[in-house]
Chains A and B, each alone.
Chain A
Amino acid sequence: MALLTSSFPKHELDEVFPRPPLREVAFEIRFSPRLRVNSELWKIQEELINDYPALTAEQLLQASGTVLNVNVFQNPNSARAIKISQENFVVAFTRYTRFEDFKEEVANRVKGFCQKFDVSSLTRIGLRYVNNIVIPTSDDPSNLLRYVRPVIDFDRVPVEALEQFVSEVRIRQKNHAVTLRGALLAPLEDGRRIYVLDVDCHGGPGHTADDVLGLMDAYHETAQLFFLDHITEEYKNVMRGKA
Chain B
Amino acid sequence: MFSMHSSLRTPPSRLLRGHIGLLYDATMVGGTALSPESQATEFYLTPFAEDYVTVRVDAILAYERAITELRLQVLHYERIIARLTARPEIKDEYTDVQPVIPLNTTSVRLINSLLQASIPTEASFRDFEEGEL
Contact = CB atoms under 8 A, between A and B. Distances in A.
- Indicate, yes or no, whether A interacts with B: yes
B27 A72 contact: no
B15 interface: no
Contact of A23 (B24, B33, B43, B58): B43
A90 interface: yes
B65 A65 contact: yes
Nearest to A82: B35
Contacts of A188: 46, 48
Interface in B10-66: 19-20, 23-24, 27-37, 39-40, 43-44, 46-50, 52, 54, 58-59, 61-63, 65-66
Contacts of A162: none
A58 B4 CA distance: 11
A56 to B, nearest CB: 7
14 contacts: A58-B7, A60-B5, A61-B8, A61-B63, A67-B66, A74-B39, A92-B35, A126-B31, A128-B34, A166-B23, A181-B23, A188-B48, A189-B46, A196-B23
Interface of A: 23-24, 26-28, 56, 58-65, 67, 72, 74, 79, 81, 83, 88, 90, 92-94, 124, 126-128, 130, 132, 164, 166, 168, 170, 179, 181, 183, 185-189, 194, 196, 198, 200, 202
Interface of B: 1-3, 5-8, 19-20, 23-24, 27-37, 39-40, 43-44, 46-50, 52, 54, 58-59, 61-63, 65-66, 69
